[in-house]
Amino acid sequence: MNDILDSQISLPCGVILKNRICKSALTERIAEGDNLVNQKHLNLYEKWAEGNVGTVLTGNVQVDKRYLESAGNVAIEKSNYKDQLKLLKEWTKVGTKNNTNLWMQISHAGRQTPGDLNMNPVAPSNIGLKIPGRKYGTPKPLSNEEIEDVIERFIFTAKIAQDTGFTGIQIHSAHGYLMSEFLSPDINRREDQWGGSLENRSRILLRIINGCREELGENFPISVKLNSADFQKGGFSAEDSSKVAAMLSDAKIDLLEISGGTYEQPRLLGLDSVSINPKRSEARKESTIAREAYFLAYTEEIKKVIDIPLMVTGGFRSRAAMENAINEGACEIIGIGRPLCSDPLSIKKLLDREIDVLPKFEKTLSIGPGWLSSSSPFRLIQAINAFGIQSWFYSQIRRISEGLDPDLSLNPLKAFREDGKIDKKTVQSYKFYNKS
């Protein structure tokens, strides 16, 4: 019997993870008030810790509450961190039960800040985001002073994570958020030290990594989430990604997570038929799709240039595919997200061999049949399906955080509508609500 999934792994910093499964970051969108942690986080993460996942990554914790990924994000900054210290410590207490590692994913939304939160986002350059059915403001290019402030915010939040009991951190540099915006030549049109060459486009990320290492010490896990590619023509390419991965390996991070896609090309959702901007979207080979995990083809190349553990997130559902990926050396850690929304104990069942395949609702959910499905010829319908499916998983997370069981019969369109109402209510509660 192959027990590779349940085997330990030692990170370069010396920390030992109890198994090869990591709950990848999932946006919870349940913070309240001044973007504060609350009892819902404790309920949710205690449930996931009970599920025998080796490492649990939080949803992206924002370093600046002016630029959120979603209403309901946790944000930690100098203006509000003292109000959260007690609950942050309680979060880590329940989230590290059962010898679980709990890592904080740290992020800045950049130009992907929703317009109902702030119509004046920031980014490397003034390249706006256009998605049917969603509103985003044209971003203001960050000044040198503002970039230095972003760097300090990441380091500050990382230190708070360590001080409150989180056992590691991850810097989010994927999915079109600020760090990945700097990496993308399509979005980063700067001509100064922060743009142009790949070395310049990587500068802010490496400054953050080096600053975190200096602040946190040599024995604290630092991870980075990196796109294998943006799957956008002219964007961050697989070749660029391999070069950045080599830089991160040289910077002595402890784990590199590979994912891919942006809001415009939601490959991260597992929706291969959906492209919000098809004219700029790169197609994916059927042979790659058939391999189950979305990004395995890329790891074959990246493994040649790094000497740190690799985590692959996106598409794994069967035990056989997970075991093969590790046994063949494609990666060391398997990232699992959405199955833990529909069944928070699914990893325990997999490791105990009660099941062989994790739930994969993302493949069957749609707002309706035929032209209303994810394969609709209409871009707006594709987008509604993509965001409706997202809302379906958000709804399950919310139910678990409230002590309820997931509602697997929920229609994505209904979830989308309900999620919108909750989102609006949360937005209006913010002290900094920007109506411009």
CATH number of the domain at 339, please. 3.20.20.70
Residue 405 is assigned to a structural domain of this protein: no
Q: Which residue has tokens 């942050």? A: 88
Residue 427 is assigned to a structural domain of this protein: no
Model pLDDT, residue 238: 85
HEC letters along 28-72: CCCCECCCECCHHHHHHHHHHHHCCCCEEECCCEECCCCCCCCCC
Residue 428 is assigned to a structural domain of this protein: no
Model pLDDT, residue 89: 98
Residues near 299 by Cβ (< 8 Å), separated by ≥ 6? 228, 258, 310, 312, 330, 331
Domain enclosing residue 314, as ranges: 4-364
For residues 404, 405, 411, 413, the Cα torsion angle rounded to the nearest 10 degrees is: 40
Q: Give the Cβ contact number of residue 78 at 10 Å.
A: 11
209: its two tokens: 């990594």
Residue 406 is assigned to a structural domain of this protein: no
Smallest CA-to-CA distance from 360 within 382, 336, 383, 384 is with 336
Smallest CA-to-CA distance from 358 within 389, 320, 403 is with 320
Residue 12 is assigned to a structural domain of this protein: yes
Residue 371 is assigned to a structural domain of this protein: no
Overall number of domains in the chain: 1
- d(CA 156, CA 154) in angstroms, rounded, equals 5
Model pLDDT, residue 369: 85
Model pLDDT, residue 1: 44
Residue 379 is assigned to a structural domain of this protein: no
- d(CA 28, CA 398) in angstroms, rounded, equals 7
**pLDDT string in tens for the chain (436-residue length):** 458 999 999 999 999 999 999 999 999 999 988 899 999 999 999 999 999 999 999 999 999 999 999 999 999 999 999 999 999 999 999 999 999 999 999 999 999 999 999 999 999 999 998 876 778 999 999 999 999 999 999 999 999 999 999 999 999 999 999 999 999 999 999 999 999 999 999 999 999 999 999 999 999 999 999 988 655 555 788 899 999 999 999 999 999 999 865 555 444 444 444 444 555 444 544 444 444 566 777 888 899 999 999 999 888 999 999 999 999 999 999 999 999 999 999 999 999 999 999 998 888 888 888 888 877 888 788 888 888 998 999 999 999 999 999 999 999 999 999 999 998 888 888 755 444 4
Residue 306 is assigned to a structural domain of this protein: yes
